[in-house]
Structure 1
Amino acid sequence: MSLVLLLRRRGRLTAPALARELEVSTRTVLRDIEALSAAGVPVYAERGRHGGFALLPGFQTELTGLNHDEVLALLVAGSRRGARAFGLGPSLASALRKVVDALPESQRDTAAAAAERLLIDPAIDLLSRRLIAEEVPDGTMAEIRRAVFAGHRLRIRYAAVGATPRWRTVDPIGLVTVREQGYLLATRDGADRTYRLSRILAAHQLAEPARRPERVDLDRTWQQRSTRFRTGGDPVGVLVRVTEARREELVDTALTVRSAEPDGDGRLRMAVTFQDRRHAEWALWQLGTDAEALEPQWLRSALHERAAAIAARYRDGTG
């Protein structure tokens, strides 16, 4: 199927080119070409300098029965997390059932047996820590998706951190998912805005066209907003001593890592940057005794006070 789709999309291709695209050997490509021909798929070969394999003009092969959301779910199926974050989990499951049903019986049985040997994104990790995916009501997520794709303005009721939820009208640009968290990229009154999907309590698509560019490079847009976020506020530099085992957790939490070098006893001395004081204190507290903030002094004092308060709470062993 991948070979047929490649020929439909790209036209004539040589066996080596097909092998590179499909990441298989040239011998495998030739064998599959023969199998397609035997199955009645009109693949033909052209000799010469500009030769290769092609499909007869007008040949079509379609997978029928997929609705819009199912097709969309397949397009983001490279990440099940993406499908979940955008409210397309049920559509992805439905689309995959239809794909499997369209397979020849022999391939269907083989695929089902192979799928039993694969587990992707389980709900918990090896330490039984549950991976919490943010949930957005299906109706709200569907309304957001419709506005994004139709290019219409969107009215959302948003609960910002520490603020009373309120309505606002935005011009949606696109949707992004990062580590189980979904975001709506938009503009409001011409200014860039990024909204956490889980904090959108309600959404209504408006008839008015969105004020946005016709085309967008979403990856570049996200990179630009991410850079502005990291450099905004009042960044805090911290010198920390951390175990090798918890290094990745620290790196994932910090905005930037300025330096890292061995410090003995299986630990690293790292200079990192956090968004602000609250972020720094929270991040170091999560690492417990596997990390020690060496500088600045106010952070050491804050962590000491927090630890002392916890110790005092449990000192006498009574509730």
Structure 2
Amino acid sequence: MRADRLVSLVLLLRQHGRLSATALARELEVSTRTVLRDIEALSAAGVPVFAERGRLGGFTLLPGFQTELTGLNHDEALALLVAGSRRGAQAFGLGPALASAMRKVVDALPETQRAAAAGAVRRLLVDPDTDLLLRRLTTEEVPDDVVAEVRRAVVAGHRLRIHYRAAADRAPAWRTVDPIGLVTARGQAYLLATRSGQDRTYRLSRVLAAEELDEPATRPDRVDLGRAWQDRGTRFRSGGDQVTVLALVTPERRAGLADTAVAVLSERTEGDGRVRLEATFQDARHAEWALWQPGAHVEVLAPDWLRTTLRDRAAAIAATYAD
């Protein structure tokens, strides 16, 4: 890992010209002391890196210094292949590898193209951290060692032992699975696998520990992850404790309500302009939360228990602010 870091340090200096120890530490995700030790190691190895003093000083390379150390390692190549989504690379534990790989790609460009590419990339932003309403997009955190072990088993085609907590109120348990692939959706990462021949889907944030086994996984040689994800979504929507709700919603809130639902079964526009929407939600709690958000912009027609729940909730809030 230190060899990769030293290469990244050289590439950073080549691309930026001059960087302080603090900036290098931030880019490489290490301490300033580690950066200073790496600088000494590079100097000892004959790399012409030297310090410039002063307020605008920092470390820089001898002008004209060239290096051919642009080969990608396994994780960096994998990160580039999933780089269509920056969040996808982060969810799979490949964020640092993606940053390292992109530095190598930029360094491999001809000098004339490098500046143009750097300018172009500053005008393209993919998956910002917030939307236009400043709502932060949540990304579930998964320990690096867990996601790395899961990823290795998926890529190598080996069986996997995971210590998994299926729900917050249930004790975690060990289980051995045959991994099929990894999927990221709305900031959450999932492991698609089979267990005793049955399809299973595990949320990575609920995997407390993982261990790649030596034995090969029982799985097909080729897989269409998009189709597999769609099939599992269909089965998920058709089972469990789902709640079907019939409601009237104003046109401006229709899209927001539909986006929170598991599925929209039917809809039509009524004479008063409101949309009569029939939709399913994951469970009672999800339905109550989703139908409460639009406030007076939505009127629940059925089921009766949900009408009562929302009425009582509104009455309690009205009483709190009565005076």
Band the TM-score falls in, shorter-chain normalisation:
0.7 to 0.9
Does residue 119 of the first structure (1) align with residue 125 of the second (2)? yes
TM-score (norm 1): 0.74
Q: Which residue of 1 aligns with 2:234?
A: 227
Helix, strand or coil: the match of 1:292? strand
Aligned counterpart, 2:284: 277
Q: Secondary structure at the match of 1:168?
A: strand
Aligned residue in 1 for 2:220: 213
Deviation at 1:284, TM superposition (A): 1.2
Q: Deviations over 1:79-131 (max 9, x none)?
A: 11211211111111111111111111111111111122222211111111111
Could you say what secondary structure the match of 2:190 adopts? strand
Equivalent residue, structure 2, for 1:128: 134
Question: What amino acid sits opposite 1:225 in the alignment?
Answer: R
Identify which of 239, 248, 265 aligns with 1:241: 248
State the Cα deviation string for residues 171-212 of structure 1 (Å, max 9, x = none): 111111111111001111222110011111111111122222
Q: CA deviation at 1:227?
A: 0.8
After superposing the two structures, state which structure 1 stretch, 92-101 or 210-219, moved more: 210-219
Q: After superposition, what is the alpha-carbon deviation per residue over 1:49-108, rounded to whole angstroms, capped at 9, x for unaligned?
A: xxxxxxxxxxxxx99411111111111111112112111111111111111111111111
Per the alignment, residue 207 of structure 2 pairs with 200
Q: What does residue 152 of structure 1 align with?
A: 158
- Structure 2 distance, partners of 1:136, 1:169, is 19
Q: Counterpart in 2 of 1:93? A: 99
Equivalent in the alignment of 2:82: 76
Instruction: State whether residues 253 and 294 of structure 2, in contact with CA within 8 Å, keep that contact through their aligned partners in structure 1.
Output: yes
Q: Give the match's secondary structure for 1:132.
A: coil
* Aligned-pair Cα RMSD in Å: 2.1
Of residues 195, 216, 221, the one that matches 1:188 is: 195
Change (3 A) 1:63 1:77: farther
What number of residue pairs does the alignment pair up?
255
**Superposition deviation, residue 247 in structure 1:** 2.1
> How far apart, CA to CA, are the structure 2 residues paired with 1:278 and 1:85?
27
Q: For structure 1, which runs of at least 5 residues remain unmatched after alignment?
A: 1-61
Amino acid at match of 1:220: R
Contact 2:263 2:279 in 1 (8 A): yes
Deviations 1:252-311 (A, max 9, x none): 221221222334666422111223333322221233333221222111111222333444
What secondary structure sits across from 1:175 in the alignment? strand
Question: Aligned runs of 1:12-23 on 2, under 5 Å?
Answer: none
Tell me if the contact between 1:63 and 1:99 (Cα under 8 Å) persists in the aligned partners.
Answer: no
**Structure 1 position 316, deviation (Å):** 7.2
| Distance 1:104-1:264 versus aligned 2 partners, 3 A rule | farther
Shift in alpha-carbon separation, 1:92–1:256, aligned structure 2, 3 A: same
| Rounded Cα–Cα distance in structure 2 between residues aligned with 1:159 and 1:255 | 23
Question: Which has the higher mean CA deviation after the structures are superposed, 166-175 or 299-308?
Answer: 299-308
Equivalent residue number for residue 302 of structure 1: 309
How far residue 236 of structure 1 moved from its aligned partner, in angstroms, is: 2.5
Residue 138 (str. 1) matches residue 138 (str. 2):
no
- Give secondary structure in 2 for the equivalent of 1:125: coil
How far off its partner does 1:248 sit?
Answer: 2.2
In structure 2, runs of 5+ residues without a counterpart are 1-67
Matched, 1:66 2:72: yes
CA gap 1:117/1:289 in 2 versus in 1, 3 angstroms: same
Letter in 2 for 1:189: S
Q: Contact (CA 8 Å) 2:70, 2:107: kept in 1 or not?
A: no
CA distance in 2, matches of 1:282, 1:135: 24
Cα distance in 2 for partners of 1:265, 1:246 equals 15
Equivalent pair of 1:63/1:102 in contact (CA under 8 Å): no
CA distance in 2 between counterparts of 1:247 and 1:82 reads 29
Structure 1 window deviating more from structure 2 (116-125 vs 130-139): it is: 116-125
2:172 maps to which residue? 165
Structure 2 partner of 1:103? 109
Residue 250 of structure 1: aligned partner: 257
CA distance in 2 between partners of 1:267 and 1:94 (Å): 52
Question: Which residue type is aligned with residue 156 of structure 2?
Answer: A
